[in-house]
Amino acid sequence: MGERLPGIIPGASYSRTPGVPDIISIGECMVELYATAPLPEATVFHRSFGGDSLNTLVAASRLGSSTGYITKVGDDPFAPGLLNGWQLERVDTSRVQVVPGYNGVYFVSVIPGGQREFTYYRSGSAASTLTPHDLDQSYIATSTILHVTGISQAISPSCRGAVLMACQMAKEAGVIVSYDLNLRPSLWPSLEDARSALEEIMPYLDIVFASTPDDTRGLIRLSEPEEVIHHFWDKGVKVVAVKTGGDGCAVGEASSGGMVTIPAPAVKVVDTTGAGDAFNGAFLHGIATGMDTVSAAALAVVTASLKVRGRGAVASLPSSDEVHPLWEKHLSTVRRSST
């Protein structure tokens, strides 16, 4: 095991193990097929890929973090493109298994009025067959941050078990565990199942991401960011970041009892797909590199704001060169307004 450095989150530590990613995630990345017309009329589709866990890793990778993915890929014709795409984004795929089966697909189409419509074909996909037995404990234990999501839990019962086991492995090793509620009611048998899945991993969580009101109203029956932050503090979570869309975010750190609201820079919005994942990746990159929570949250809102200027879950994620000048300016404004 590599050198462990003290972190800003009490009880956690920062890994500097050569060859081991800073940030690891578990989940499913699907094939994305995008059309500029409603599906019944569309004749041309642009292929890419996307999935909340992978989007988060790419966002962090583009800012400079080393990242790694734990998933399964079906051996269909899409598999080489998925793996090559992830590797081009410098995501470590050494723990990605290629297995018999198919990969999930989702269609993004534009409907009258300019709104986007999503159509998913993912039931029984290769990624949904992930189990606790597929986890490499040493890979998780020597990372800095393990990131999991409610979607990863919802894909299948075996994935839910894998997420729980990974969190237990990480906690035992002193690895920071982050979690995005990312509620998708259509993936769960009921809201009670989603709440149960959240409660079972709560003891292992250091960082929680929540979008209000979409996630929080359904899962914890709260909508106000301050209430959400206090709710998770009471559950033992150390850092809570509540995403409020175009308004930015509120972030709270339990050790200090302080909360800060961070507005988002004004931008022209083209596509909000994956904006929350961009936020997560930037925030975790900040934490992995030793930033305080306000600096990491400011980095996150800037990254998400730049991301929504372009189309797609991954293609429009900004680079470090794009983010950092705006982040430095935005952070100084935030700090002045909070003093």
List, for residues 210-264, the tens digit of each pLDDT value.
999 989 999 999 999 999 999 999 999 999 999 998 899 999 999 999 999 999 9
The answer to whether residue 291 scores a pLDDT higher than 80 is yes
Tell me the average pLDDT of the chain.
91
Q: Measuring CA to CA, how many Å separate 311 from each of 212, 242, 268, 318?
A: 23, 24, 12, 12
Residue 164 CA to residue 158 CA, distance in Å, equals 10
What's the total number of domains in the chain? 1
- What's the mean pLDDT in 109-126? 84
With beta carbons less than 8 A apart as the criterion, state whether 253 and 295 touch: no
Q: To 5 degrees, how large is the angle CA 234–CA 239–CA 240?
A: 75
Q: Measuring CA to CA, how many Å separate 251 from each of 24, 92, 238, 285?
A: 22, 30, 11, 16
pLDDT of residue 7: 44
- Residue range(s) defining the domain that contains residue 208: 7-29+51-103+125-337
Residue 177 CA to residue 166 CA, distance in Å, equals 9
The answer to whether residue 15 scores a pLDDT higher than 50 is no
Is 1 inside any structural domain? no
pLDDT of residue 117: 84
Percent of the chain's residues with pLDDT above 70? 93
Indicate which residue of 134, 206, 215, 277 is catalytic. Answer: 277
- Amino acid, single-letter form, for residue 73: V
Q: Measuring CA to CA, how many Å separate 217 from each of 142, 245, 260, 262, 286?
A: 35, 15, 21, 21, 28
Residue 95: CB partners within 8 Å, gap ≥ 6?
A: 68, 69, 70, 136, 139
Is 118 inside any structural domain? no
pLDDT of residue 54: 97
Bridge partners, residue 176, by sequence: 145
With beta carbons less than 8 A apart as the criterion, state whether 103 and 125 touch: yes
Is 308 inside any structural domain? yes
DSSP 244: -
pLDDT level of residue 58 (50, 70, 90 thresholds):
very high
pLDDT of residue 42: 93
| E-only strand ranges, the chain | 3-6, 13-16, 23-26, 30-34, 46-50, 67-74, 91-92, 96-99, 105-110, 116-121, 145-149, 176-180, 207-211, 239-243, 249-253, 258-262
With beta carbons less than 8 A apart as the criterion, state whether 260 and 248 touch: no
> What would the DSSP string read from start to end of 103-144?
--EEEEEE-TTS-EEEEEE-TT-GGGG--GGG--HHHHHTSS
Is 311 inside any structural domain? yes
Is 14 inside any structural domain? yes
Lowest pLDDT segment from 86-95, 150-159, 310-319? 310-319
pLDDT of residue 118: 85
Closest CA to 262 of 298, 210, 286: 298
Report the b/e string of 308-331 with b at 16+ CB within 10 A: beebbbbbbbbeeebbbebbeebb
pLDDT of residue 339: 58
pLDDT of residue 17: 58
With beta carbons less than 8 A apart as the criterion, state whether 299 and 278 touch: no
Find tokens 């993936």 and name the residue.
187
pLDDT of residue 172: 97
Q: What is the pLDDT of residues 203-212, one digit of tens each?
A: 999 999 999 9
Is 117 inside any structural domain? no
**CATH number of the structural domain spanning residue 214:** 3.40.1190.20
Can 277 be counted among the known catalytic residues?
Answer: yes
With beta carbons less than 8 A apart as the criterion, state whether 58 and 281 touch: yes
pLDDT of residue 128: 97
With beta carbons less than 8 A apart as the criterion, state whether 53 and 182 touch: no
- What's the mean pLDDT in 20-24? 92
The answer to whether residue 3 scores a pLDDT higher than 90 is no
Is 332 inside any structural domain? yes
With beta carbons less than 8 A apart as the criterion, state whether 94 and 119 touch: no
Is 34 inside any structural domain? no
pLDDT of residue 222: 96
- What's the mean pLDDT in 304-333? 91
The answer to whether residue 105 scores a pLDDT higher than 90 is yes
Residue 228 CA to residue 233 CA, distance in Å, equals 9
pLDDT level of residue 95 (50, 70, 90 thresholds):
very high
